[in-house]
Amino acid sequence: MRRIMFTYFTSDPSSRALCSPMLLSTFSHFSLFHMAANMYVLWSFSSSIVSLLGCEQFMAVYLSAGVISTFVSYVAKMATGRFEPSLGASGAIMTVLAAVCTKMPEAKLAIIFLPMFTFTAGSALKAIIAFDTAGLALGWRLFDHAAHLGGALFGMWYVTYGHELIWKNREPLVKAWHEMRTKNTGKGGGKSN
């Protein structure tokens, strides 16, 4: 299992499997604490993002964010020559967090163990981006800072422009797909309209 995990569930641009880990690494975690922290943040922002985007669009954005944040991580690793494997849902979760904070910048947030300190979502997003930018520039190895930044920038871009450019323009494609399926169902002896 360990070899399969390293090959397909960790992202590394020097690996022989490049594409499938871009998505699969989003579903693997280093430890139970790593998974719990990511799932807590996702749970905290999930109702807001689903109310903003709807279930289907949220799922599409989340899976796309996993691939895009991993791609940004690949680019950073190639540029710096640091070929360390990374894994986890953090890049995709940063997309969710950044999307919510961009759409609702005045929302009040708090840290779980320090609920007496509150701050706005916009301020939190700026602090997270500053932290990950510093981490990337200074070569910190605490997190995959490039994946975090890629996820955050994708989330900000998507709720600002992507929804209009991508999601709304898919309607003709979805309509054509449904019409094609309806015609094929009619020819195959099923119900026809």
pTM of the full structure:
0.82
Give me the DSSP letters along the chain.
-HHHHHHHSSB-TTSS--SHHHHHGGG--SSHHHHHHHHHHHHHHHHHHHHHH-HHHHHHHHHHHHHHHHHHHHHHHHHHT----B-SSHHHHHHHHHHHHHH-TT-EEEETTEEEEEEEHHHHHHHHHHHHHHHHHHT--SS-HHHHHHHHHHHHHIIIIIIIIIIGGGHHHHHHHHHHHHHHHHHTTS---
pLDDT at 193: 44
148 part of the active site:
yes
pLDDT at 21: 82
Ranges of residues in the chain with a pLDDT under 70 are 185-193
Catalytic annotation, pick one of 123, 148, 178, 192 = 148
pLDDT at 188: 53
Catalytic annotation, pick one of 28, 90, 123, 178 = 90
90 part of the active site:
yes
pLDDT at 134: 95
Q: For the chain, give every domain's residue range.
A: 1-174
Record: fold of 1-174: Rhomboid-like fold (1.20.1540)
